[in-house]
Structures are given as structure tokens and as C-alpha cells.
Amino acid sequence: EAGVTQSPTHLIKTRGQQATLRCSPISGHTSVYWYQQALGLGLQFLLWYDEGEERNRGNFPPRFSGRQFPNYSSELNVNALELEDSALYLCASNILGGVTEAFFGQGTRLTVV
């Protein structure tokens, strides 16, 4: 069974540009979570989607947005990139209704230059 997959693995963008990161959850999982792991800041919760709806949002500016598609895959968009957006972005999936462990993907390393 395939795990959580994220693409691309690495992404280099220029300040001011937009970045789009993608995540495919484990088959049967309806919830997708996004986390940012920036150097020195640890793992910070960004967004939670389930059944196509945004269920919760972390303390990030509106230029961080996303969506979840009918097949439960998800996209994270970061607009007007700033240098401090450089980080590893991790996606996790899990089923709704049970507090199970979340399974994480390998991450997308975003570098803003």
C-alpha cells in the first residue's frame, strides 16, 4: 500500500513568486494535514482539510492557502513568497473519526531565494 506522497521533492522559487505543493493521502484516508518545519522553529501546524473542507488553520498569514480535491489529494499554495518561507513542508493523512496516528509524507523542501 502506498504511503503519503508529496511532490515535488524540492522546489526553488524567487521571492515574490507563488509555490504550489501537492500531497496524495493514503488510500482510504480523508483527512490531510500540512505542517511547516522551518529551521529553528520546529514543526508548526498549517492547515487541516477533511472531505474537501478546511477544518482548522494554524497561525499563518492568508498567503498560505490550500484546498482538498474530491479524491482527497491536497494542494498547498504559498503566495508572495518570502525568504522565511524556506522550509520543509510535510503533509500527513489520517482517517476521520478516530484519533489515530497521522502518517507523514517525505516532505517538499521549499527554498526561496
**Rounded to whole angstroms, how far apart are CA atoms 2 and 41?**
30
- Residue 99 neighbours by CB under 8 Å, 6+ apart: none
The SS3 call for residue 55 is: strand
For the chain, how many residues are written?
Answer: 113
**Binding residue (CB under 8 A) for other proteins from 42, 62, 71, 83:** 42
Using alpha carbons, select from 99, 93, 5, 105 the residue that is nearest to residue 47.
93
**Binding residue (CB under 8 A) for other proteins from 50, 66, 72, 87:** 50
**Binding residue (CB under 8 A) for other proteins from 12, 80, 96, 113:** 96
Q: Applying CB under 8 A, what is the total number of residues that bind other proteins?
A: 29
**Binding residue (CB under 8 A) for other proteins from 20, 58, 86, 111:** 58
The binding site for other proteins (CB under 8 A) comprises 31, 33, 35, 42-43, 45, 48, 50, 55-56, 58, 88, 90, 92, 94-107, 109
